Amino acid sequence: MDEKTLAYIAGIIDGEGCITILEYGAKQRRNWRLTVSVVNTSEWLVQWLMLQGFGKVYEIGKTKREKRIWQWRVDGRKAGEFLTLILPYLMIKKSQADVALRFQHRRTATLWQRRTDENIVLDEAESILIHSYK
């Protein structure tokens, strides 16, 4: 992607996007996943984001006036790759992206290792931190 496209996408993420670390799984097997998403009633916008090479598009509901609501979402390692590309152009969500990338780099580095109590605590702490920015 060229610089102009990356800057435009960063603007979309700054204004309409969500960068988060989501918890999933049973209490005994808790885990966390990096997710970057945009929810919008413009199908064109979310489809265009997908055509840039990242994520998938989902129809997630309708507004009170029956207008469709769309979500573009990218998760895990691909979300980290995406954020790395747009990081220099982010303004409002740069701090969230920094936390998200730190989380994803650590997760990637320990991918094939047994999940330690320390890593679980770090995952939870970074999830809490990234939610505190909202």
pLDDT tens digit sequence for 28-80: 667 889 999 999 999 999 999 999 999 999 999 988 888 999 999 999 999 99
Rounded Cα distance, 19 and 34, in Å = 8
Which of 48, 2, 65 is CA-nearest to residue 16?
48
Residue 104 near residue 34, CB atoms below 8 Å: yes
Domains, the chain = 3-132 (3.10.28.10)
Encoded amino acid at 83, one letter = L
Model confidence at 134, pLDDT cuts 50, 70, 90, reads low
pLDDT, residue 2, reads 93
Model pTM above 0.75: yes
Which of 131, 77, 75, 133 is CA-nearest to residue 105?
77
pLDDT, residue 27, reads 66
